[in-house]
Amino acid sequence: MAKETVTERFAGSALTNDILEIFFSESRLDEIVATLGRQISADFAGKNLLLISVLKGSVVFMSDLLRHITIPCKIDFISSSIYKNKTTAQPRPEITDILQYDDISMFDILIVEDILDTGRTLQALSEFLMEKGAQSVTICTLLDKPERRDPNTTIKPTYVGAQVANEFVVGYGLDFDEKYRNLPFIGILKPDIYRQ
Ligand code: IMP
Ligand code: MG
């Protein structure tokens, strides 16, 4: 991949100093999000679109994507955490906050996610929203790590910004230990940061 660049205002920032390599610059992310916005605007024309952002990682992507969606839509937020059940050692996501819209039966829902990893989170959220009676549930993820998919999941994202290899990325909403969400680009950290 071509060397991507640091956004100028972040040059020399303590956060940038922890970054080993940038995978997606701010301008590259702008292009990716604009393309997704155009596709979604065309595909959902005439539908009753509700965008649901998965907290917290997708808030940056959501706020940019929204401004590239040119058809009427509403927004809401949901949160889910990977809950490790110690007795079975089987990690499963737990939906910790539900929507403002209690009745979602009139909506075509687009789940907006930062990254699709094992797929367990989106599987659980899609099932939860379908069981609540949504007209339809479609997935839009900024990044996809297909190598990491749990074979027990069946979800297929309709909109994918870009695929990434099996590496832990930060920035543009994605965190490591709640840090780095405010970086406007996406990259990987220096190995000693992960070891701390
Ligand atoms: P999944 O249920 O394994 O697909 O989990 C997806 C969630 O794990 C994402 O919404 C992120 O919050 C988190 N995650 C997975 N991979 C990364 C990464 O590379 N960087 C930051 N967060 C990640
Ligand atoms: Mg997330």
pLDDT in tens, 14-45: 999 999 999 999 999 999 999 999 999 999 99
3-state DSSP assignment of residue 51: strand
pLDDT by position in tens, the chain (length 196): 456 899 999 999 999 999 999 999 999 999 999 999 999 999 999 999 999 999 999 999 999 999 999 999 999 999 987 654 444 444 667 787 777 888 999 999 999 999 999 999 999 999 999 999 999 999 999 999 999 999 999 999 999 999 999 999 999 999 999 999 999 999 999 999 988 7
Name the closest-CA residue to atom 5, ligand 1.
Answer: 117
**Domains, in order of start, for the chain:** 22-186 (3.40.50.2020)
Ligand 1 first shell, C-beta below 6 A = 54, 57, 93, 113-121, 168-170, 174
Annotation marks residue 175 as catalytic: no
Residue 58 CA, closest ligand 1 atom number: 10
Using a 10 angstrom Cβ sphere, with 0-12 exposed, 13-18 middle and 19 or more buried, the burial of residue 79 is middle
Beta bridge partners of 136: 108
Segment 152-176, tens digit of pLDDT: 999 999 999 999 999 999 999 999 9
